[in-house]
Amino acid sequence: MRRESKSIWVVTCRDADCEFFGGIFGDRLLAPSLATAEKAKRVNAEEFLLLDPSGKARAGLGLDQNGEVGLVLTSRDGNRTVYLTPDERPVIKLTDRDGQIIWSAP
């Protein structure tokens, strides 16, 4: 079974940018297309967050203000957080709610 879908896009831009993007994407944005599902080969972002059902961030992978990469995992109750980053010492830290290090490796 095939379904047609229509997308509505809201775009804000400066005049020169609008002309550029409008020329490239105008026919794609305004024309109806078939709904298809494709496997993404790559996803690019500066931050990925895993949210619980209430919207609270429980895990994150991203870059900090200095461009250092890190993985952060937070316990369900928020009392413990694990930090993993190759850019600083210690590489792995387990902290309590107040940010005090409970355990670390090297």
pLDDT digits (tens, 9 = 90+) for 79-102: 999 999 999 899 999 999 999 999
The number of folded domains in the chain is 2
Domain residue limits at 9 = 4-34
CA distance 61 to 83: 10
Which regions in the chain score pLDDT beneath 50?
1-31
Cα 26 to the chain's mean position, in Å? 27
Question: CB-based contacts of 8: which residues, under 8 Å, 6+ apart?
Answer: none
* pLDDT score recorded for residue 35: 60
* pLDDT score recorded for residue 39: 79
Do residues 30 and 60 both lie within one domain? Answer: no
Token pair of 52 as six digits: 């619980």
Do residues 96 and 58 both lie within one domain? Answer: yes
Q: For residue 25, is it within any domain? A: yes
Do residues 79 and 57 both lie within one domain? Answer: yes
* pLDDT score recorded for residue 98: 94
* pLDDT score recorded for residue 71: 96
What are φ and ψ of residue 91, in 5° steps?
-70, -40
Do residues 52 and 30 both lie within one domain? Answer: no
